[in-house]
Amino acid sequence: MSAGMQALGMGPALLFCPGDRPDRFRKAAERSDAVILDLEDAVGPESKSQAREAVRAADLDPERTLVRVQDASAPGFDDDLAAVAASPFRTVMLAKAESAAQVDRVVAAVPGARVVVLCETARGVLAAEQLAAHDAVVGMMWGAEDLVASIGGTSSRDESGAYRDVAMHARSRILLAAAAFGITAIDAIRADIQDLEGAHAEAVDAAASGFGAKAAIHPSHVEPYRRAFAPTDAELEQARRILDAATRNPGVFSFEGQMVDEPILRHARSVVARAPRSAG
């Protein structure tokens, strides 16, 4: 398993759940690899206090639960952190993260906090390396729509549904920063809930590119994400055969017409690491 996946260690399909809907908490946790209890966008101003109380009282597995708090400039930021500190949860997703100083505020308020920084503004993307280097940061996620809005744009995708260049640049920047510091990179949500094929295709690309997980806003995307991150039987068999051949051939060698060197072996190890545990 990669260093980044060890850093977060929650599985590939993360599901957001509104913090003011405690009736959905357990079901969201059961349907996903980890649930993100949301105190930010999914909760209206009139329901923030109710959501914080629900998070404090939530009876979920802390190892599979994150809490997304509002950005550091929001009036309720400190109240969000106080709610997390009073809860059993210690993995905090910081919305619109832009500086290490903001992460310091999370750590000061929540003892033992493990922070996932959500880079969804121009400042946040440009500070990716600084954020990734923070000792408390275990993961990085990017957000397309808030990012494009922060630079005056109107849509993160073109007419074909593909991300615009600026969004792809941000996605790559977050992925590279996370990899450089050995933490988990989390791919952005897909807003089109009904497009399950598109969700799967996007997750396939995320897994192949090196992301450790992808976030969802609807449980219907969990299965396509899991399927995308798990290697096919053919991919797994091929990877295992390459690794087996490497035990008999030190150094660079030829395998079925392909030159195999250390990068190819690392690819094979990554494929095996993504296999479901039941598959070995």
CATH number at residue 84: 3.20.20.60
Contacts of 230 by beta carbon, 8 Å cutoff, 6+ apart: 274, 275, 276, 279
Is residue 222 assigned to a domain? Answer: yes
Task: Indicate the pTM of the whole model.
Answer: 0.85
Do 203 and 251 reside in the same domain of the chain? Answer: no
Residue list, annotated binding site for substrate: 68, 120
Tell me: do 237 and 181 sit in the same domain: no
| pLDDT tens profile 160-195 | 999 999 999 999 999 999 999 999 999 999 999 999
Residues 241 and 224 in one domain: no
**Structural domain boundaries, residue 259:** 233-274
Residues contributing to the annotated binding site for Mg(2+): 120, 146
* Owner of token pair 């991150």: 229
Q: Which amino acid is at 112?
A: G
Q: State the total domains in the chain.
A: 2
Same domain, 53 and 97: yes
Annotated binding-site positions: 68, 120, 146
Taking only the tens of pLDDT, the chain with its 280 residues reads: 333 444 788 889 999 999 999 999 999 999 999 999 999 999 999 999 999 999 999 999 999 999 999 999 999 999 999 999 999 999 999 999 999 999 999 999 999 999 999 999 999 999 999 999 999 999 999 999 999 999 999 999 999 999 999 999 999 999 999 999 999 999 999 999 999 999 999 999 999 999 999 999 999 999 999 999 987 778 888 889 899 999 999 889 999 888 998 888 988 887 887 777 544 3
Nearest to 93 by CA among 32, 143, 58: 143
